[in-house]
Structure 1
Amino acid sequence: MSRSKKSRKPSSGPTAKPKLSKKELANVEKRIRKTKGKQAGNRQQEAIPQKEQQQAKQNRDPRLGSKKPIVLIKETLKVESKQNSNKKKSAKIATVTFVETATAMNVDADIDHSALEKEIEVIEQDQNLQAILAKQEQNIELSEHEVDYYNEQMERHQEICSLLGWDEEDDQEAEQDAVQGKLQGTKDEADLWDKLDNSDLSQF
């Protein structure tokens, strides 16, 4: 075999791996390495007395880590107790209503009947009210002002009648009795005229 002469020219043979830069080396060093032994400063932590550790635990908020369920709905017992208290209060109010009725009776006794009767006469003789009634009989449309005026007067008339103890039924019965009396009077007069017509004047 012929001897090959060494030379410094590049050849196609294998070469060494290129060296990494500083940035690439820093990225490679980020991997977690296995540690042996205890952490730094472990001697000082072991020297702390246990009392200080217990005080630190007591200063924590008790709500942190609590597993006690929180009640979100009101208890039914409180509602029942409120209902019972309301029933007791309503029983006490019953005595007060009796006093109110007695005062109302005293107010009714102090009412001036003569003034109320005069007010009824004024309402019944009101010309505006009579004109409205005439329009109603003739089926004429009323204005809003006339309707309001009619309602006010009739409500006041009913209030006065209730205060005086008058009923519309009593008034209607009185009117019917008066009409029947007039009819009976006319019948009596007709009978008298018939007797006079049928009587024989030759006897006299």
Structure 2
Amino acid sequence: MSAKQPVRKPKSGGKKESQESAQAGRERKRAAKRKGLKAGSRHSGTQSGGKGGKKDQKDPRIGSRKPVELVVETAKPQAPKAAPVKEEKKRGLTPEQELAAIENDERLNGLLDRLDEGEELSPADLAWVEEKVARHQQLMEELGLVEEDEEDEEAEPASDEELWDRFLDSDYKPEPKP
């Protein structure tokens, strides 16, 4: 004969749980197990703008639509162009200041040195140098610093002793820098 299993009987006087409270307890237990956002929230998440929200939203995965060159073309080496220099001849400068600015112009001095050495300048540089030299001459004449003696130009150069005497006798007074 086979042995019979004991049957359990509910305890008397025990507290019975109602159907609603049992269901609420199960929901709380399920909610406690889940952590984080619900699946697929990136695409089905909030919609901005109500109607037509899908059209306005851009997919953040799509980048720029600007075409990218796949082959880089090498440019032909070109001769360096002379940098444009601002004109120092301004309305507010006095003739003395303008003359000092032309005499202290480093670009002009460099180009004149290159001309003295026998180098050839570009047409743009040569035109610029001629313009500055002409303006310098004009300012010298305006200020009365040039003596127009045609006889001195045709005469032979002075001897070394005369040049030294002129050099030593001259009163050199540099202008103060502004």
Query: Highest Rg: 1 or 2?
Result: 1
| Shorter-chain TM-score above 0.5 | no
TM-score with structure 1 setting the length: 0.28
